[in-house]
Amino acid sequence: MKTEACQALADETRWHEWLQDGLPESLRAHADQCADCAAIIRDLEGLGQGFGAMAAETAAWADSFDLTESVLQASEPRSGRAWGPWLAGALAAAAAILFAVWPASSGFEVDSEAGASWRGRTLKPGVTQVFAPGRLLASLGRAQVRGDDVQANLPRNSALDIEGPGAFSGLVGTVRFHSTQPFVVRGSTYRLEAAGQIEVAEGDEEIAKMVSRKGVLGSAAVVALVYAGWGSLQSGSSEVRGQAPVVLAIDAAGKVSSSPLDAKAGSVGRGRPGVAVSASGGQALRAAGAAGQDEAAEPSSGAYWSEDEQALRFAIQGEVIDSVSGEPVSDFTVRAQAKSLQGYGPEHHELSRTRKAQGKFRLVGLSAGTWRITARAKGYAPVSQVVDLQDVGTDPYVVLPLSSGARLSGQVVDARKRPVAEARVGLVACFGAKGHSLKTCDLQTTGADGRFTLQGVPADAAFAVRAEHPRHGFVVQPGLRRSEGESEHIVLELSGRLRVYGEVTRGPDKTPQPGVRVVNGDESVSTLTDAQGAYTMIVPLENRAKVHVVVPGTHGADVKFGSYPERRSSEAVRWVQAEGYVAEVQKDFWLAVDSARLFGQITDDAGAPVGGVSLRLWNTTGWHKGRRGHQTFPERTTTDAQGRYSIEGVPAQAGYTMAYISEDGTKTDLGYVNVKSSQPVQADFQIGRGRIRGRFVDSQSGEPFRLSRQGCGSMFGAERLGPQGYFVAPRCLEDGRFEFEQLPPGDYRLHAKMGWLESTVKFEATDVSVGPGQVQNEVLVPVSGAQADEWTFRVLDDSGRFVPSLYLRMLAKNRSYTSSLGLGSDGLVKVTINRSFDEVFIDAQGYESAKVRLKGREPGALIELRMRRVKSEGP
C-alpha cells in the first residue's frame, strides 16, 4: 500500500484531480513515509492557493466590465428586409453619425474620444472610425469597404470606396447604404453620387433598381434604373435626366442615353454575371463614367476638391486677437460647427487644423453651408462668429477678438450647504462629452472652502456654468449673464444624491426576485424589488454609499448581502438630470440558489480559542456558467468568547478565503474553504503568522560572524518541527543578519540543511518557538568555522570592456559550486567568499575561465581580472 501510495503521489497526471478534489486521505496518510511525497503535497497546496488567488484576481477584473452595449452596437444589423419596395427610399433613416461596417472579417465601429486608442493607434477625437482587425477602414466619413456583407449608415457627405479591380466585382454579397445626405460611392471606373438609398446586390432581381456594368457586355458602362423620383447620369461630355420609371445609361464612349422603363423591373442585367446597383428615392442621382478628377492638394485659398472625401471642401482663414490690445493671441483653439436644421452640430475637432503663427489660422475641410466658428483661449471669454461657405473663389477671412470677459466667483456646496473641495467648475462647453476638458478652457478646482473664480466668462451674453464632484454629484447653472468687468457671487449646490438601480436575480437562470428588500448602508433608505426583480432608489451620495439586499437566512435571521457600488470614479458614474441632478450607478445582485451556514472556531497555535478576532470572508472561486456570481461578499464577522464564528447565507458552489484582520489592520490569509451545497460547513482555523529575526555570531567570541551569501541563503534555514515539518530559508540581510517571515505558528529549529558548506561552517542548532503573530527578534545563531570576506572584482576583457554575466565557481569536496555574480552599476562585482577557499574561478560564456588565488591577498582589496575570449574554432 505504501509503495502504491508513493507511486500514485508521484504521478503528475493525477495532480490536477487532487488540486480540484483534495488529496484522498488514503494517500495523505502515507505522505510522510516516502521521499518527496510531503514536498509534493506541500507544493500542490501552494500551487492551489496561488491558482485560487490568480483566478480571483482575473475574475474580479473580468467582472468589472459590461460590454453588452458595445457588442450589441457593433453587431447591430441594418435589417435588409425593408429594402425591397422603393417607397422605402424616401423614408431612409435620418443621417446617422454612426457608421457600422460588418465585413466578413468582423470589423466593428469605434466611436472615439480624445486620447482613446485602439490596438496601439491613437484615435482622432470626434471621428467615427471603422476597423477590421488590424486595419483602419474608414475615418472622417470616408470608408473603404472590403468584405462580403456590408451594411452602413453613411454620415453626411461621406464617400464609400469599393475596392477591387472594377465596379463592385470585388464583392460577393450585398452592399446596402442609406442616408438622407448626399454621399458618394466610388469604384475604380465610375463614381456614383446619390441621396437616399442605394442597393448593391448580386443578381437579386427583386431589389435591383439600378444595374451597373463596366463595359463587359455590349457597350454599356453604367446603366441605372430609376423607379421613383428622378435621376440623372453624367459623363464628361453630357448629362441625361429622367423621370421615373426610366433607364439611364452611359456607354463606354461616355455617351449618355435614356429610355422608358417598362414594368419588368429586373430585366436589365438578368442572367449575366456581375453586380446590380440600385438607387431609389434619390433627389439627385448621378453616375459619372470616369473616375474622379485628379485634384491638387488643398490650395492656399478658395474651395477645393478633396480627393479623399470626393467632395468640394471649403476653408476659412482668420486670426484671433486680444480685443483690448489688438495683439495676436498665441495659444488658442478654433473649432467649427456645422449648422443643420436642428441647430449647430458638434464641434468639428478634426477639421480644426489651425496654423497658429501670429494668431492666424486656417480651417480646412469644411463642407458648403453655414458654420459657426468659435475661438477659445485661457483667460478669455470664448467668441463665435457665423460664416456662410458658398464662395469657391477665396477663403472667407474672420477676425475673432477675444476679450477677457467677465469674472464669476462663487462657491460649490453640497446638499447640506457645506463647502465642497476639489470640485471642478467651468463653463459648460469646457466639459467634453466624457469629462475631458478643453486645453484652452479655464477649468477650476475648488479649494477647501469650496470657492472658485472663473476668468473669461462671456460678457453680455448668456452662459452656463457647471460644477461636478465624483462623490457629490453635479449641477449646471444656466442662464447666467454678466457685463464686462462685473463680478458676482453664485452658489452652486451639488445634490449629493445617488440613484442606484439594478435587478436582483437568483440562480443560473437569473430568475428575477420580486419583493426583495434593498437597503442602503445605514438602512435609512429601503425599497422592494418589483415584479421583474428591479429596484431603484435614491441614496445620499456619501463617501461610501453602500447598498445591501436583504434576504431571509436559513436560521431565521435576515442575511444582508452588501456591496458598494463598484464604480465610484467620476468617469464611471453617470451624471443624469432626474429629480434634480444626481449621479447614477447600476448595481445588480445575483444570488445563489443555495446558500449555507459557514461556522467554525478560531484557535491559536496551542489550540486555545481566540475571541474577538475580526474575520473577513470573500469569494475567490466558483464559476457559475462561466461567471463568478456572488459579488456580494466580502463578509465580516467577529469571533465570540469561545472563538466561534458563524456566517449565514454563504452562496454555495463557490470557494472562499478566510482571513483575519489584526488590530493594526493588516490582513492575513487563514485558508480556503469550499461551500458545495446548502449543508452547513465547518471551517476551523488557526491564526497568527510569526517572524524570526536574528544574526549569526561567532560561537567563540560572540562577535558578528560574516557568512557568504551561499552560506546564509541556501544552506541555513528554519525547519518546522513536527510531523508536517518543512524547511524555510531566510531572507539574508546585510551584516550577517537574517529574517524569516510569514511563519505559521510552531516550533522551529534554525540549523543547516545538509550540504557541502557544513564542513567549513558549522551552525549550532537553535530552537525558536513562534506563537501566533509573534515576532522573535535578535535570535543569535552561533556559527563556527571560516568566516567569509567580501571581495571586489573588476573583470574586463581583452579590449578593456566589462564582461557581463559572470559566474563564481568554487571547488569543495570534489564538487563544484557555481553562482552568478551581479555586476554593480560601477562595473564592480562584490561577493562574499568563505575563507576556507584558497582559490575561486570566474567564468563567463565565451571566455576562458580565470582562476583567482585569494590566499595571501588582503581581504576586501580590489581584484582586477582580464578575461580572454575563447578562440573560436573554425570559421
Buried b / exposed e along 400-439 (16+ C-beta atoms within 10 A): bbbbbbbbbebbbbbbeeebbeebbbbbebbbbeeeeebe
Q: Where are the beta strands (DSSP E) in 700-805?
A: 716-720, 727-728, 731-732, 737-743, 746-752, 761-763, 766-770, 775-785, 788-797
- In the bound state with another protein, the residue whose beta carbon lies nearer, of 183 and 590, is 590
Q: By C-beta, is 65 or 296 nearer to another protein?
A: 65
List the grid coordinates of 523: 438602512
User: Strand pairing partners for 704?
Assistant: 697
Classify residue 257 as exposed, middle or buried by CB count within 10 Å of its CB (0-12, 13-18, 19+). Answer: middle
Cβ of residue 508: shortest distance to another protein, in angstroms? 7
Nearest approach, Cβ of residue 345 and another protein (Å): 28
CB of residue 517 to another protein, shortest distance in Å: 24
* Residue 780 main-chain phi, psi, to 5 deg: -100, 130
In whole angstroms, the minimum distance from the beta carbon of 222 to another protein comes to 32
The residue (of 800 and 822) whose beta carbon lies closer to another protein is 822
Cβ proximity to another protein, 238 vs 666, nearer residue? 666
**Shortest distance, CB of residue 627 to another protein, whole angstroms?**
5
Cβ(136)–Cβ(117) under 8 Å?
A: no
Contact 510, 517 (CB under 8 A): no
Q: Which is nearer to another protein, 74 or 490 (CB)?
A: 74
Q: Which is nearer to another protein, 7 or 483 (CB)?
A: 7
The DSSP letter of residue 530 is: -
Determine whether 217 is exposed, middle or buried from the number of CB atoms within 10 Å of its CB (0-12, 13-18, 19+). exposed
Dmax of the chain from CA atoms?
A: 118
Q: Is 853:838 a contact under the CB 8 Å cutoff?
A: yes
Measured in whole angstroms, how far is the alpha carbon of residue 292 from the centre of its chain? Answer: 42
Amino acid at 100: A
* Minimum CB–partner distance for residue 446 and another protein (Å): 33
The C-alpha atoms of residue 538 and residue 520 are separated, in whole angstroms, by 9
User: From CA 609, how far away is CA 639, in angstroms rounded?
Assistant: 9
Instruction: From 735, 612, 745, select the one nearest 688 (Cα to Cα).
Output: 745
The DSSP 8-state label assigned to residue 15 in this structure reads H
Q: Is the Cβ of residue 158 or residue 653 nearer to another protein in the bound state?
A: 653
Q: Which is nearer to another protein, 153 or 180 (CB)?
A: 153
- Nearest CA-CA partner of 97 in 143, 153, 137: 153
Q: How far is the CB of 783 from another protein (least distance, A)?
A: 17
Phi and psi torsions of 56, nearest 5°: -65, -45
Instruction: Report, in Å, the least distance between residue 93 CB and another protein.
Output: 17
Q: What is the rounded distance in angstroms from the CA atom of residue 504 to the CA atom of residue 515?
A: 10
Least separation in angstroms between residue 669's CB and another protein is: 7
- The minimum distance between CB 676 and another protein, in angstroms, equals 5
Smaller CB separation from another protein, 41 or 761: 41
Instruction: Mention every residue, 6+ apart, whose C-beta is less than 8 A from residue 442.
Output: 378, 379, 426, 427, 430, 454, 455, 456
Q: For residue 803, what is its C-alpha cell?
A: 564582461
Nearer to another protein among residue 569 and residue 799 (C-beta): 569
Helix (H, G, I), strand (E, B) or coil at 242: strand
CB of 62 to another protein, least distance (A): 4
Q: Which is nearer to another protein, 35 or 341 (CB)?
A: 35
Nearest distance, CB of residue 532 and another protein, angstroms: 13
Nearer to another protein, 71 or 765 (CB): 71
Of 134 and 556, the one with the shorter C-beta distance to another protein is: 134
Q: Are 148 and 106 in contact (CB under 8 A)?
A: no
Q: Is 156 helix (H, G, I), strand (E, B) or coil?
A: coil
CB of 168 to another protein, least distance (A): 21
